[in-house]
Amino acid sequence: MIKKIISGGQTGADQAALDTAIKWNISHGGWVPRGRLTEAGRLPDKYDMQEMPTSSYSARTEQNVIDSEGTLIISHGPLTDGSKHTKEMAIKHEKPFIHINLNNEADSSRAAEHAHEWITKSKIEMLNVAGPRSSNDPSIYQAVMHILTIIIVMDFIEIKTSPSQTKLPLRPLSLDKAVNMISSRMSLRERCYIANMVKAELIYLDITLGDYIRKTFGMNSGHEDLLQECREILGRNDITDNDAVNVIITELWKRLRETHAMRIVK
């Protein structure tokens, strides 16, 4: 599990990584050039960073690679400039790294799953994140935040892989029973985590909790009562399995917000 995210503080990918860490209450840091230099001026003080004795971008890139347990580089296309230098420093110091070229990934969820698998396999707790600056790739900030958020959610929501939770009774279910079954098989930490999400963030649960529901419930296995309730909630008859899963997750979230919101479980 990621316990700290570091970066070089530059606009774009670097600041996206830091902002994601702050948003999800994960420790952050890293080295920045002397004067907290970025292409947009001085890096705001809200970021808990260390200044290098030099204003060199390349020197701080190398130090962040050295200090981390592994480096995740995210880009749209081949590596260039500072991102390429990051890879070179990882090779030089024989540090684990992975490059996620979003132009070669089917979608952001698959990209995040790919990166999460590498992070887990490499047992990385202090992750260095790098990629293009905003002036070179205006869309990289949102892309990096999206992918890192999915990775973090995959760390927190482990219900999909827990051996004791691999099967549910395959019998007709109501929405109430489905939500109760899922909640009972989640840890307190998982329930609190979901309760403190905002509704717009529920999409990040699809690759974890969503997959769990699809695989264990079998939405086409006679759950007509459940599906009918989902149709009524959505106000239409032509719903997909994914639509039903989204209804279940949303209902679970609503109930957990009533009982578990604001409780912090480490």
**Residue 264 forms part of a structural domain:** no
**Residue 266 forms part of a structural domain:** no
231-240: buried (b, 16+ CB within 10 Å) or exposed (e) per residue? Answer: bebeeeeebe
User: Do 139 and 166 belong together in one domain?
Assistant: no
Residue 167: pLDDT band (50, 70, 90) is: low
- Is pLDDT larger for residue 208 or for residue 55? 55
Q: What is the pLDDT of residue 106?
A: 72
Q: Tell the burial category of 228 from Cβ atoms under 10 Å away from its Cβ (0-12, 13-18, 19+).
A: middle
User: Do 152 and 83 belong together in one domain?
Assistant: yes
pLDDT in tens, 37-93: 999 999 999 999 999 999 999 999 999 999 999 999 999 999 999 999 999 999 999
Q: What is the pLDDT of residue 117?
A: 94
**Residue 265 forms part of a structural domain:** no
Q: Where are the alpha helices (DSSP H) in the chain?
A: 13-23, 57-67, 81-92, 108-122, 140-156, 175-184, 188-195, 211-217, 224-234, 241-259
User: Do 150 and 47 belong together in one domain?
Assistant: yes
**Residue 210 forms part of a structural domain:** yes
User: Do 112 and 233 belong together in one domain?
Assistant: no
Percent of the chain with pLDDT over 70: 91
**Residue 178 forms part of a structural domain:** yes
Residue 165: pLDDT band (50, 70, 90) is: very low
User: Do 147 and 19 belong together in one domain?
Assistant: yes
Q: What is the pLDDT of residue 126?
A: 98
Q: Which of 156, 177, 203 is the last residue of a domain?
A: 156
User: Do 132 and 171 belong together in one domain?
Assistant: no
- Is pLDDT larger for residue 215 or for residue 8? 8
User: Do 24 and 67 belong together in one domain?
Assistant: yes
User: Within a 13 Å sphere around the CA of 219, how many CA atoms are in the beta-carbon half?
Assistant: 20
**Residue 61 forms part of a structural domain:** yes
User: Do 26 and 106 belong together in one domain?
Assistant: yes
User: Do 48 and 77 belong together in one domain?
Assistant: yes
Residue 150 pLDDT greater than 80, yes or no: yes
User: Do 170 and 143 belong together in one domain?
Assistant: no
Residue 194 pLDDT greater than 80, yes or no: yes
Q: Which of 156, 178, 208 is the last residue of a domain?
A: 156
User: Do 196 and 86 belong together in one domain?
Assistant: no
Residue 35: pLDDT band (50, 70, 90) is: very high
Q: Which of 156, 184, 206 is the last residue of a domain?
A: 156
Q: What is the pLDDT of residue 159?
A: 65
Q: What is the pLDDT of residue 151?
A: 93
**Residue 35 forms part of a structural domain:** yes
Q: Which domain holds residue 181?
A: 159-259
Rounded (to 5) percent helix, strand, coil in the chain = 55, 10, 35
Can you give the CATH number for the domain in which 57 is found? 3.40.50.450
> Phi then psi for 240, rounded to 5 degrees?
-100, 170
Average pLDDT over residues 228-238: 92
Number of domains in the chain: 2
Residue 129: pLDDT band (50, 70, 90) is: very high
**Residue 181 forms part of a structural domain:** yes
Residue 240 pLDDT greater than 50, yes or no: yes
DSSP state of 106: S
Cα–Cα distance measured from residue 76 to residue 100, given in angstroms and rounded to the nearest whole number: 8
User: Do 12 and 132 belong together in one domain?
Assistant: yes
